C-alpha cells in the first residue's frame, strides 16, 4: 500500500493489526509505545515520531519501502502522461 499521508499510514497500521487479530494494547506493548499514542497514530497523527512508527510497523508485520517518483521532466505536465486525463 502506498503511503502518501499520515492518514494512509494510520489505516495501514490498523489494517495490519486487525488482520492479525491483535488489540491496540498488544501492539502497543510489542512496539513499546503507549496505547494512547497508537490510537492517535491509527487516526492519522502526522506529528508522530518516525522511530516509534518503525517499531509499530514492525510490531504489526509491515515493512517500509522508498521508491523513486518521476519528477515530470520540465515542460511535461502530469496530465499528459495520461492523455485521457485522470478523472
Partner DNA sequence: CGTGGTGGTGCACGAACGTGCACATTCACT
Partner DNA sequence: AGTGAATGTGCACGTTCGTGCACCACCACG
Binding site for DNA (CB under 7 A): 17-18, 23-25, 32-37, 39-40, 42-43, 45, 47-49, 52
| Cα distance between residue 58 and residue 72, in whole Å | 33
| Cα distance between residue 2 and residue 8, in whole Å | 8
Residue 6 touches which of DNA, its own copies, none (CB < 5 to 8 A by kind)?
Answer: its own copies
| Cα distance between residue 71 and residue 26, in whole Å | 41
**Nearest to DNA of 25, 80 (CB atom):** 25
**Nearest to its own copies of 71, 85 (CB atom):** 71
Amino acid at each position: 500500500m502506498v503511503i502518501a499521508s499520515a492518514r494512509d499510514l494510520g489505516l495501514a497500521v490498523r489494517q495490519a493489526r486487525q488482520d492479525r487479530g491483535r488489540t491496540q494494547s498488544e501492539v502497543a506493548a510489542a512496539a513499546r509505545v503507549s496505547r494512547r499514542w497508537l490510537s492517535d497514530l491509527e487516526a492519522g497523527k502526522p506529528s508522530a515520531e518516525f522511530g516509534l512508527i518503525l517499531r509499530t510497523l514492525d510490531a504489526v508485520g509491515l515493512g517500509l519501502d522508498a521508491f523513486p517518483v518521476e519528477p515530470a521532466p520540465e515542460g511535461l505536465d502530469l496530465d499528459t502522461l495520461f492523455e485521457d486525463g485522470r478523472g
